[in-house]
Structures are given as C-alpha cells and as structure tokens.
C-alpha cells in the first residue's frame, strides 16, 4: 500500500488549474500590477465614451466655449491614458506570463529528469511532445486570457454600475443586470456548451502529434511495406476529428457573441427607458441622457471578451490535466529521504542477492543476482535475449528499484541520490543518441569544458580520426537528426568517445554492438576492450567475441546467474556459454569460407 505524504495529498486534492496557477505563483505581484493597469486603461475607455457623449450633448446647447474646456481636456486625457495604460498592461502582463511559463517549464523538465527513462514509457513520444509544448504553452492563457480579462471586466463593471446608480437608480439597475449576465451567465453557458469539445481537444492534439511523429520516424518502413497510405489515412482521420471539435468550439463562441450583442442592446434600451422619466421630470439634465446610453454600451464591450475567456479556461483545464498527469507520474525510483553522501573511492561495486522488476505487478526479472566489480577490473555479463541483462544495467544506473544489497564505494545505492550515483557511473547503450548539432557539442556532453585538442585525442582513441578529418567543417560539422549521416558503427564510436571524456570511475556497456553487422561489431568490441583497459568496466552482451581478455564472465539465464568464471573455465564447464561459443565459431568459419569462394562459381550463385 502506497502512503502519500501530506504535500502529495494536498496536491492530489487540488484542481489541475489551481496547481498550474500555483506553479506560476511567483509572478502574482506582476499580474496584480498588470490587472490594475488594465483596469485604468479599460476605465479610461469607458470614461472617454461617456465624456464624449456629454461633451457633444452639451455642445449642442451652444454654451460659452470656456464651459467646454474641462470636458475637452478630459477627452484628451482619457484617450491618451487608455493607450498608455493598455500598452503598459500588455508589457507587464506578458512579462509576468512568460516568466511564469519559464518557471513552469523548468519544473516540468526537472520532473522529467526524475522520470526518465523508465517512467516515461507510459507516454508516446508524440503525445509527450504535445504535453511539453502545446499544453504547457496553453498555460500562458491562464493569466492573459482568463485572470486579467475577468479581473478588469469585474472592476470596470462595478465602477460603471456605481456611476449609473449615481445618475439614475433605474438605469443603474438595468446596467447591473446586463453586466452581471455578461460576467457570469453567458460565459457559464458558453463553457457548458464547449465543455465536451474542450475535453476532446487537448487529447486529440496529442493523438495527431503522436501519429505525425510515428509517420515521420517510421517513414522508411512504411514505404518498404506499402503502408504509407494507411498511416496518412490515420493522420487525416484524426485531423478531421480535431477540426470538427474546433468547429464545435467556434460555434459555442459565436453563440456567446450573439447573446452578448442582444444583452448589450437590451441594456442600452432599458437604461434609456428607465432614465427618460427622470429627464422629463427634471431630476436628470438632458445632457446626461447620452451618457446613460453610452456608458452601458462601452462597459459591455469589456464583458463581450469573457465568453472567449471561458473557453480559454476550459482549454487551460484540459491542458493542465494532461500536464499534471506527467507531474504526478510515479517515479520508478524515489529519491531517499536521507542522502548518505557520494560514493567513496576506490569505488568497488558489489551486488548481493539482487531482485528487480519493471513494475510492482510483474514477476521479478532478476532473482538473486550477485556479482563484484573491483576497481580497474573488467567483467562481462552474458546471456540469451530476455535473460535480464538490460534490467541489470537499468538497476546499476538507478533507473529501476531493487531488493537486496547494491553498494558502490561502500555506499548503499538506495541511500544515494540519482545525481550522486550517475556522477560516478556512466553507461553506453545499444543505440546511443546522437544530437542534431556539431561533432564538438556531441562530445562535450561528456565533458563540457573539453578543449579541441582533447576532442581530437579522444576521437583518435576510438579510431574516428580518419572520419573526423574527412568532415567538411571538422569538429563544427553538423551531424543532423539522430546522426543521419553516420553509420551505426560510427555512431557507437562517437558515443564511446563521449563516454571516455566523461571519465567516470565505473563504466557500464549495455549491448554496445547490438545493431551492428558482425564485422563492425567485432572491430568495435576490440576497440572497446582496448580503451577500457584499466577502467572499472561491466560489459553486458550476448556476443562472446573478445571476452577472453576480461577478468570474469557471469552467465545470466532467465534472470538468474547460471555460471561464473573465466573464459576457459566456462568452456570447460559446458552449458549455455560453451554452446554459444561453438555457434559463434561455426558462424565465423562459414563466413570465412564464403569469403574465399570466387564470385560466379556455382556454390556462390547458390
């Protein structure tokens, strides 16, 4: 049973929108300032309309010119202040929104760092991309399209109603009813109509993005099997659904705009009708009649933006729910409450009776695994596919939780922070990522302050000096997405160079030759064993080529250690290792025989 902390219980009980707003809480003072600036700008716009109406009505009575001076000055002042304060409100509001968005994005990426790589398998690549880009960008609508418009409209409506009540109670009541309906009823109605569309909009965006990313990344396979049409049909179908949902949202917005126009006209007519008796009885000067008509008209202009704000709130709610799903995703390995401190030299690695599984509801992938890696020693873990070798690699990097004992440098790994562990242990995977940037920047991921001479030296160590020398711009050559211009062996050698630059005390090599042809794999294996000599290295592989030079070999079968010893001992003992060695030797003999057969002979044609 999982026990939630008090903070986790509070977070779970809080709505996603409120949690998103709390993540941007550092900008509340700026947003408050933007709301006040917007109120002054909006109030100036309403006052400008009302003062202009009074000025025109009073001027029609042809009073002395000096009697119009104050009103004329007020018109100019309100016109200027409306523009100046609106500009200031846009500057301050957008600055606060972008600052809050930056803080939210940083918080999300920090969370992703804790989830990667195992905790992200529940999200597809395209859907996760949409959550990190479109859904987080939607958070900016919360202050700019929801909070500020509603705050400004409410403040101006209160001021407008108070002024109208001062002029005439009946006209003030009519204005209050219309503005209240515009502030609360119409946005609520529009939000109810658009709620179903908004609930589907954000997930559909994620599905469209996931389909497009899949179509692009799997393009060669889709072309090879003639399945491009099926992939494009799926993208078209999802896009059609997304368009239909967007149309339903637009229809609700149009309905809200239509109702708003009716209410605005009704407010003007009602205010005039209720104010006319006051004019005819002499309680209200005729020049104020234009003000009675124009102030509700101008005030309601601010309220007409609120249906769009209501839809924006629905959009923010849907996106916030998807962002919070990432934030609340359980960490595969929780950070310890009391960190023991970094490992201590000489960084010996000891694993005793290790049990590990990918999910709590699944049976263990590793059961009772034990091994020791002494400083400067090189050991190998071999076994068939599915034996649990990659699971062991994930445990060694603290990507998966474990049971049993696992220490490095006399520290129990469960008591280490992930950052402290990975500052001493690094890994080369079977498909290392090559970034869409230069050779130098790819290498400096291992050592940020590495000089060009160090980069060239490490390229020579991994036998990439000829490849690097042939590049058009040397170390500044752009490699393209996923290193598209490189062969598989070159990509792995570049990743190996990055690993050597990092110079961690312990290296884990997880199937580094998995996707390579036999000749390239053998050459890379030789270089791996050459450059890692003297380093604490754990090589995980199902190929036995070159393992004669490692200190000890552990055979992992079905999640358990089946045998352990040197290359010669395991051959003498028989079992999986000896059988696999025999198969590899036969394959090598057949390949060597085929290489000696001249092209064009009958056997070669067969």
**pLDDT surpasses 80 at 1:** no
Could you give phi then psi for residue 444, rounded to 5 degrees?
A: -70, -5
What confidence tier does 158 reach under pLDDT thresholds 50, 70, 90? Answer: very high
Report residue 598's pLDDT band, with 50, 70 and 90 as the boundaries: low
Confidence of residue 2 (pLDDT cuts 50, 70, 90): very low
| Confidence at residue 9, expressed as pLDDT on a 0 to 100 scale | 44
Q: What is the pLDDT of residues 301-348, one digit of tens each?
A: 888 888 888 888 888 888 888 888 888 887 777 777 777 778 888 888
Residue 438 is classified by DSSP as: B
- 352 DSSP β-pair partners: 405
Answer whether residue 419 shows pLDDT above 80.
yes
3 state SS of 358:
coil
Specify which residues 405 forms β-bridges with: 352
**Residue 603: predicted pLDDT:** 46
Q: Is 437 within 8 Å of 483 (Cβ atoms)?
A: no
Contact present, 555 and 575 (Cβ < 8 Å): yes
Q: What is the spatial distance between Cα 359 and Cα 119, in angstroms, rounded to a whole number?
A: 10
Q: For the ranges 201-205, 239-243, 460-464, which has the lowest average pLDDT?
A: 201-205
Give the residue-averaged pLDDT of 375-404. 89
Residue 575, Ramachandran bin (φ over 0: left; ψ between -120 and 50: alpha; else beta)? left
Please say if the pLDDT value at position 525 is more than 90. Answer: no
Q: Return the half-sphere exposure (C-beta side, CA atoms, 13 A cut-off) of residue 599.
A: 0
CA dihedral (17, 18, 20, 25) in degrees, to 10, reads: 150
Cβ–Cβ < 8 Å for 408, 569:
no
pLDDT tens for 3-29 read: 334 444 444 447 888 888 787 777 888
pLDDT of the residue at 599: 57
Q: What pLDDT is attached to residue 77?
A: 92
The pLDDT tens digits for 56-115 are 888 888 888 777 788 888 899 999 999 999 999 999 999 988 888 888 888 888 888 778
User: pTM for the complete prediction?
Assistant: 0.69
Strands 366-373 and 536-541: unpaired
pLDDT at position 595 is 66
Q: For the chain, list the domains and their CATH numbers.
A: 15-327 (1.20.1560.10), 349-596 (3.40.50.300)
Report the pLDDT value the prediction gives residue 62, as an integer from 0 to 100. Answer: 81
Q: Does the structure show a pLDDT above 90 at 226?
A: no
Average pLDDT over residues 30-44: 92
Q: Percentage of the chain with pLDDT > 90?
A: 20
- Per the CB < 8 A criterion, the answer to whether 508 and 349 are in contact is no
From the number of C-beta atoms within 10 Å of its C-beta (0-12, 13-18, 19+), residue 310 rates as buried
């Amino acid at each position: 049973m999982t026990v939630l902390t008090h903070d986790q219980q509070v977070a779970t009980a809080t709505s996603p929108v409120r949690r998103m707003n709390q993540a941007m809480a550092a900008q509340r003072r700026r947003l408050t300032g933007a709301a006040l600036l917007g109120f002054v700008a909006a109030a100036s716009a309403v006052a400008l309309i009302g003062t202009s109406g009074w000025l025109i009505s009073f001027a029609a009575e042809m009073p002395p010119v000096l009697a119009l001076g104050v009103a004329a000055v007020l018109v100019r002042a309100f016109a200027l202040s409306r523009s100046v304060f609106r500009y200031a409100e846009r500057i301050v509001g957008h600055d606060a929104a972008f600052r809050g968005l930056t803080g939210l994005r940083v918080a999300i990426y920090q969370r992703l760092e804790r989830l990667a790589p195992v905790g992200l398998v529940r999200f597809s690549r395209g859907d996760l991309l949409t959550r990190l880009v479109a859904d987080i960008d939607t958070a900016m609508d919360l202050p700019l399209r929801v909070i500020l418009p509603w705050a400004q409209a409410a403040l101006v409506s209160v001021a407008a109603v108070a002024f109208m009540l001062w002029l005439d109670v009946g006209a003030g009541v009519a204005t209050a009813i219309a503005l209240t309906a515009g502030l609360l009823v119409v946005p609520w109605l529009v939000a109810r109509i658009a709620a179903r569309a908004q609930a589907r909009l954000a997930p559909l965006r994620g599905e469209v993005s996931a389909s497009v990313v899949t179509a692009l990344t799997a393009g060669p396979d889709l072309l090879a099997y003639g399945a491009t049409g099926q992939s494009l049909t799926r993208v078209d179908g999802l896009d059609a659904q997304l368009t239909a949902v967007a149309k339903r949202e637009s229809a609700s917005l149009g309905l809200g705009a239509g109702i708003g126009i009716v209410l605005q006209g009704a407010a003007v007519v009602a205010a005039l009708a209720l104010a006319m008796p006051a004019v005819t009885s002499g309680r209200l000067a005729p020049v104020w009649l234009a003000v009675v008509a124009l102030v509700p008209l101008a005030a309601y202009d601010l309220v007409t933006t609120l249906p769009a704000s209501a839809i924006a709130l629905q959009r923010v709610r849907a996106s916030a729910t998807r962002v919070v799903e990432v934030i609340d995703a359980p960490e595969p390995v929780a950070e310890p409450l009391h960190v023991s401190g970094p490992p201590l030299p000489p960084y010996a690695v000891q694993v005793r009776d290790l049990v590990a599984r990918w999910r709590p509801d699944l049976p263990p992938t590793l059961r009772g695994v034990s091994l020791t890696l002494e400083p400067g020693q090189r050991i190998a873990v071999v076994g068939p596919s599915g034996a649990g070798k990659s699971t062991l690699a994930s445990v060694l990097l603290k990507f998966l939780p474990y049971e049993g004992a696992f220490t490095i440098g006399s520290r129990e790994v469960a008591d280490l922070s992930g950052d402290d562990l990975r500052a001493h242990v690094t890994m080369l995977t079977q498909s290392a990522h090559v970034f869409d940037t230069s050779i130098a920047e790819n290498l400096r991921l291992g050592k940020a302050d590495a000089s060009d001479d160090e980069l060239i030296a490490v390229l020579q160590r991994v036998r990439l000096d000829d490849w690097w020398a042939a590049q058009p711009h040397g170390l500044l050559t752009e490699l393209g997405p996923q290193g598209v211009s490189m062969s598989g062996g070159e990509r792995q050698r570049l990743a190996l160079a990055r690993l050597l630059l990092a110079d961690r005390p312990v290296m884990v090599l997880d199937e580094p030759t998995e996707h390579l042809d036999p000749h390239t794999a053998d050459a890379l294996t030789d270089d791996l064993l050459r450059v890692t000599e003297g380093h604490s290295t754990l090589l995980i592989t199902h190929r036995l080529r070159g393992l004669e030079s490692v200190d000890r070999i552990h055979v992992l079968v079905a999640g358990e250690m089946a045998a352990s010893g040197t290359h010669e001992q395991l051959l003498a003992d028989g079992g999986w290792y000896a059988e696999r060695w025999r198969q590899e030797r036969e394959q090598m003999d057949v390949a060597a025989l085929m290489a000696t057969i001249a092209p064009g002979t009958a056997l070669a044609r067969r």
